[in-house]
Structure 1
Amino acid sequence: MVSQLSEKAAVSEKATGERAVTVIGLGPMGQAMAGAYLDAGYEVTVWNRTAAKADALVARGAHRAATPGAALAANELVVLSLTDHDALYAILDPVADALAGRVLVNLSSDTPERAREAAAWAAGHGAEYLTGGVQCPPSGIGAAGSSTFYSGPKEVFEAHAAALKVLTGADYRGTDPGLAALYYQIQMDMFWTAMLSYLHATAITAANGITAQEFLPYAQSTMASLPDFLAFYAPRIDAGTHDGDVDKLAMGVASVEHVLHTAESSGVGTALPAAVLDVFRRGMERGHGGDSFTSLLEVFHEG
């Protein structure tokens, strides 16, 4: 009880500091975030389950909190950089009585629904809550051009926007706490699928005696062409038109079949092109052979 009271007493001393922040979670991303705040002249308090991960930051001037409760008590603004929401609850549920008056900025990856649940949980303990989706690796923290999605109460975001922008640019998506997580996950949907396609293509090149370095300019050229395709198809998709005037799904099926056969003859696994081909064929079964490949949205919507 004494330790809890001392932790709460510390709030009056530092919680109102405009350039003070707590960072909980010191993996590579949390380390980069705490470091960016130190570089910007913030008073930084850190906590991590493995205390030694804070050593380098403490050597630079950060304060090491002995407990999660002490980390919460140190500052109003608390940035969370954790694996997921399970980690959030494991760390903060036991000290939930210290959440009142805090502003939790959760930059941990998870689903939109879990972000909404966490926001409600935080509100139930008297805390404000912002969801964040960081769109860069740790090396991008503090760098120009990096950005993070945010959602939650607009007044809370605006009150702390300057501190958040120390980390990256801030792209506010709306009051629904699930929106930042949603935007982050759909970005990851595209990123990992595209990068996996690159690895699969690179495996085929390697099987045919072509190095990744030799393939690089062609891989870059293909990826660089994608924005033009997205810009062309987006208004058609919003209009609900899938005219086969530029591309036809039947042609796409033949193309993916050729990719699959090329991988097979190269001795490379075909699971990825086979999955793509399955989606294309399901579109064909629904009578979309003469429509654009964007008609496959119907397949995805049906689950």
Structure 2
Amino acid sequence: MTQAHTTTTSTSTPVTVLGLGDMGRSLARAFVAAGHPTTVWNRSPGKGEDVVALGAVRAVSAEEAVRASGLVVVCLVDYDASDAVLEPLAGALEGRVLVNLTSDTPARSRQAAAWAAKHSLAYLDGAIMVPVDVVGTDQGLVLHSGDRAAYETYAPVLRALGEQAPFLGEDHGQAAAHDMAMLDCLVHAFALARAEGIEPASLAPYLTSITGILPPIVEYTAEEAGSGAYVADGANLGMMAASVDHILHTAKGHRLDVSQLAGLKSLTDRAIAQGRGPGSWAGLVEVIAADR
């Protein structure tokens, strides 16, 4: 059973961010820019100097970071990583709101929610639907599902990550389900959404929102394909390949046709094998061209 919370305002609310990869740092920067005292922690040293320079406070341990704030946001590579970090912190998280913005499958989101419920933790699962440079802007879109009281308490603070921060319901898997559907191919997306109990019409506005940020992505990809320099600026190919894997597993779990996804997975696997993981997603152009 989660605890009741009173609604907070968006002014100077302490926030902790666990995980300082490209996306984690963008979350921390957005909270700092919005005026929230922000504590950060990363599993490995050497990351986050940019957000510390902006005013974030680096904690020496994950537990110290958690105890610094009433709102704890975690963003790691997948739920294996977030589970490993959070498991020892159950006691420290008591009385706080945990928001997991790690990308993975709806099934993993629900498993994490079951762990939180076991420890009586207020838990929200979320999905970041925009690139790192869009986080914290009016076009930012971060989906949330799970503990309604926790969401209502911290919604004004979570909007620091993007003006669009909808609550999708108390099924903790809904944010991830929307994430998988929206990152899927268009027609396949609606099939996956329906399999997850999402009304296709309710998905459409979020898909429309996402298409609004595509023009600059198209221009950036064209520039990279022309130059042959695939330097990651935010999410790298390895991170995007993990998302493809999550979508494929979600679709397989519902026994959907995955022939298109399997083809894309084959491309990303070859790209990773070629050492392109740290580069940008546009590097797939070279993998596809090599198949000629």
Which string of whole-angstrom CA distances, capped at 9 and with x for unpartnered residues, describes residues 153-172 of structure 1?
A: 22211110001100011121
**Structure-2 change in CA distance of 1:148 and 1:89 (3 Å):** same
| Larger relative contact order, structure 1 or 2 (CA cutoff 8 Å, min sep 6) | 2
Which of 110, 114, 120 does residue 120 from structure 1 map onto?
114
Which of 38, 41, 45 does residue 47 from structure 1 map onto?
41
Residues matched between the structures, number: 185
Which string of whole-angstrom CA distances, capped at 9 and with x for unpartnered residues, describes residues 179-214 of structure 1?
A: 1110111111127x89xxxxxxxxxxxxxxxxx88x
- Give the alignment's TM-score, normalised by structure 1: 0.57
**Structure-2 change in CA distance of 1:123 and 1:58 (3 Å):** same
Unaligned runs of 5+ in 2: 1-10, 190-224, 227-258, 264-292
Secondary structure, in 3 states, of the residue corresponding to 1:161?
A: helix
Which of 12, 15, 18 does residue 21 from structure 1 map onto?
15
Distance 2:31 2:89 in 1: 25
**Structure-2 change in CA distance of 1:173 and 1:273 (3 Å):** closer
- Aligned sequence identity (%): 43
Distance 2:260 2:18 in 1: 38
1:33 paired residue number? 27
CA contact (8 A) 2:106 2:177 kept: yes
2:80 paired residue number? 86
Secondary structure, in 3 states, of the residue corresponding to 1:145?
A: coil
**Matched letter for residue 50 of structure 1:** S
CA contact (8 A) 1:99 1:126 kept: no
* CA drift at 1:18: 5.3
Distance 1:146 1:88 in 2: 23
**Structure-2 change in CA distance of 1:115 and 1:61 (3 Å):** same
- Give the alignment's TM-score, normalised by structure 2: 0.59
Distance 2:261 2:151 in 1: 43
Distance 1:136 1:97 in 2: 32
Q: What's the C-alpha RMSD, in Å, of the aligned pairs? A: 2.5
Secondary structure, in 3 states, of the residue corresponding to 1:140?
A: coil
1:147 paired residue number? 141
Which string of whole-angstrom CA distances, capped at 9 and with x for unpartnered residues, describes residues 107-164 of structure 1?
A: 1111111111101211222321101111101011011122111101222111100011
**Matched letter for residue 158 of structure 2:** L
Q: Which has the larger radius of gyration?
A: 1
* CA drift at 1:47: 0.3
1:61 paired residue number? 55
Larger helix share, 1 or 2: 1
Distance 1:180 1:273 in 2: 20
* CA drift at 1:274: 11
**Matched letter for residue 78 of structure 1:** V
Secondary structure, in 3 states, of the residue corresponding to 1:22?
A: strand
1:189 aligns to 2:184 (yes or no) = yes
**Structure-2 change in CA distance of 1:156 and 1:272 (3 Å):** closer
* CA drift at 1:98: 1.1
Distance 1:119 1:274 in 2: 29
